[in-house]
Structure 1
């Protein structure tokens, strides 16, 4: 949602407003870089004085230059460092390219399939979010413009890692990535030593979706663990993801030495963060009935 009165105010303001919880954030912007309505959603990219470029879908912040690395590192490196040698990776959603960028920091990765339903998102990211999207042109990346819930159902025992970097489930296409059928297809598409991660919302404003997603994933996978991180770009400043696998435990099977020996830049994630992220506060444990 844009609030603008150029005659009275020298700036335009971006407003992210949560209609359900009646709360929002306001960000001063310098200019609107790009705006388009597609068959799936409204895409907006802004230049802001505080956060650099800011990318929004249907008025909701998806990513921004200043701190996007936190979310992208946490959804990517937690599962990737738990696999012995990830080669084939599937990213569902994530059209801005940030997750693909982090995946390709791992030298063992030979192929990344990116499944994004809205082609315009990727085109806009390539043109305007170049510090996030630059790996989308990597020859290791194959891009498919399809519904991720249907796309993954075409594979069996194929992927080493599946990462679900979806939009919020409140409206539209995002809901299809928060179903038991979808998570079961992901389970079947993974190899026996495959690992999985998905964004699963946060425990304050969207706690019902967090609990629902976690319980659905847990009903399908042998090992399921919720983990948390500090993500200031999303209300209310914390976020959760869910790790899942057929037989790999995210703590018992974690080799911290692999992280210490990693040669590529990591701005947020490290071996201490990995372990700590699975240490949940009591109120979250109660939500997912782990206490």
Structure 2
């Protein structure tokens, strides 16, 4: 998927675990299929998972999770990863890594939700709890700044998609939605705590309800519009309306949230269309959802 990806395999992960955590040496290690883009996941026995950055840019997220996950866990209504061990570079592997407790559940799939309204309510509860966090010294959330900071990359992605007609993206229509979002008033309130990466692959559902939220590598404070992603990357229209009402989102924040979600999808589609089918499929879903809802 990326330049500079480290070539991980089961044997290397087994050696890393044995050297750093001898008490877990001998437990089965097997690669877990994941649509993630910057980390590899390996089941360790039945109750744990090893998460290792695939690229250098993912390494900084390890320390962020180690610091904040234990502080956030008791403040949130949904399970989050529990850090069981902090790994270090070794055996030729160059970055820190983590061992977490395994969390049951399956990632939800857009278009295949059996109880979308209940899931929307659960997601709104999680986002509300994040916004209510008052822990001091919050880092700046990834994607938590002004929408205009995404303009150049978003427009570049749109031009790439003009050159890929088989994707069928109405580039004039998405440009209009993007420019409408840029004209929305910026967030004038204090920054709020955000997960900042509420993609379907970072959620787990058990018996149709939200059971866990994963991957806090983008966590921090910023514009509350950043945590509206599920409205378009996962929820159908009726559940989307429930999500918005539960969060009491004003028009400007909703427009910024839609713009951010669209921007992420436009950038992801040309980048991942041949290397990560899950990311590409969700990007296509977002573009369709945003254009269907567009109320400029």
Q: Is the structural similarity TM-score above 0.5?
A: no
User: With CA pairs under 8 Å and 6+ residues apart, which has the higher RCO, 1 or 2?
Assistant: 2
- Whose radius of gyration is greater, 1 or 2? 2
Larger relative helix fraction: 2
TM-score if structure 2 supplies the norm length?
A: 0.31
TM-score if structure 1 supplies the norm length?
A: 0.31
